[in-house]
Structure formats: C-alpha cells, structure tokens
Amino acid sequence: MQKITPFLWFDGDAEEAAQFYVSVFPSSRISRVLRYGNVGEERHRQPPGTVMTVAFELDGQAFTALNGGPVFEFNQAISFVVDCATQAEVDYYWQRLGEGGDPAAQQCGWLKDRYGLAWQIVPRRLIELLADPDPATADRVMQAMLPMKKLDIAALERAATGPAV
C-alpha cells in the first residue's frame, strides 16, 4: 500500500466519478466501496446505505473518493498531471477527461473535468524542451505553449528550432 493517497471530496457522485476515471486510464480498477451506516447520520447527513468512500486505482496510483456533501469544491490549486509520451496520448486524455468539463478552464494543457477536478495533460517533450540548456530555446517553447489549450508537441518542437523571440 502506498504511504500517501489522494483523497477527493465529492457531493454525491464519488462512485460515478471513480467509475469514469477507471474507464479512462488503463490498468485501473475500483477496489472497495464503503457505505454509510446508521451511526453518525446526524453528523454526516447521509442516508444509511449511501456510498461513503470508493477506493480506486488509476494505472497503479491509489485514490479515495468521499461523498462528503456540498461543503467543499475542487479548484485548480490541486491538479493531477498526466505524463504523455506521444501526441496520441495527449489527444486521448484531453478528449476523455475533458468530456463534459469546463471549456473556460482549459489553458496551457490544463483542463477541468465534469466533476470539477483539474488535470494537466503534459507531453514529456514539453518538459525536455523547457529544460533545454539554451534559454532562448526554452523561451520560444514557453511563448508557443502559453496560448495553447491542448498542448501540441509538433508546434512546441517547431518553436524550439524557430527564430528568436
């Protein structure tokens, strides 16, 4: 068992969200669903039998989702980075995680999914180009990336070899 597990607070749709995320990532599964009992109903205000938590794994990374009610909402201060080796991976995760999400929250490879959770869909190549020892190369890549919503590896590579900014 991993030492630290992200714990995500949902308002009644924890199981639905976990099922969605498991459908997006390969080698993923729901491992346990716990339900609220009779004890503590006056505090948690959830009817007995309602899903309390869902333990799930996304490509080996453990998560827990809680149906905690409308008290808290996600914001972009916390996000999950999806490391992508190819443009096909970028396209896949961008499309799947973005389905029903907030198009206004899309920028620089970030998106907000239908549950309000923020994701960064990042090609490895971007990090390599930004780490180029030539600061002018990194600057051109950054300038090319900033107006993008979904990141485009070919455009980033063209910027890396293009004229100075």
Q: What is the mean pLDDT of residues 133-142?
A: 97
pLDDT digits (tens, 9 = 90+) for 23-47: 999 999 999 999 999 898 878 888 9
pLDDT score recorded for residue 40: 81
pLDDT digits (tens, 9 = 90+) for 109-129: 999 999 999 999 999 999 999
Fold of 1-69: 2,3-Dihydroxybiphenyl 1,2-Dioxygenase; domain 1 (3.10.180)
- For residue 77 the two structure tokens come to 């201060």
What is the band of 164 on the pLDDT scale with cuts at 50, 70, 90? Answer: low
Q: Can you say how many angstroms the Cα of residue 102 is from the centroid of all Cα atoms in its chain?
A: 13
Q: What is the mean pLDDT of residues 54-70?
A: 96
pTM of the model: 0.93
Same fold, 1-69 and 74-165: yes
CA pair distance 80, 120, nearest whole angstrom = 6
DSSP letter, residue 60: T
> What sign does the CA torsion over 67, 93, 96, 158 have?
positive
- Domain boundaries defined on the chain: 1-69, 74-165
CA angle 157, 159, 165 (to 5 degrees): 155
What is the band of 165 on the pLDDT scale with cuts at 50, 70, 90? Answer: low
Token pair 């308002």 is found at 11
pLDDT digits (tens, 9 = 90+) for 76-95: 999 999 999 999 999 999 99
Bridge partners for 51 per DSSP: 35
> What sign does the CA torsion over 158, 160, 161, 162 have?
positive
* Torsion from C-alpha of 134, 138, 144, 150, nearest 10 degrees: 140
The CATH code for residues 74-165 is: 3.10.180.10
CA distances from residue 58 to 27, 33, 64, 161 in whole angstroms, order as listed: 7, 16, 11, 36
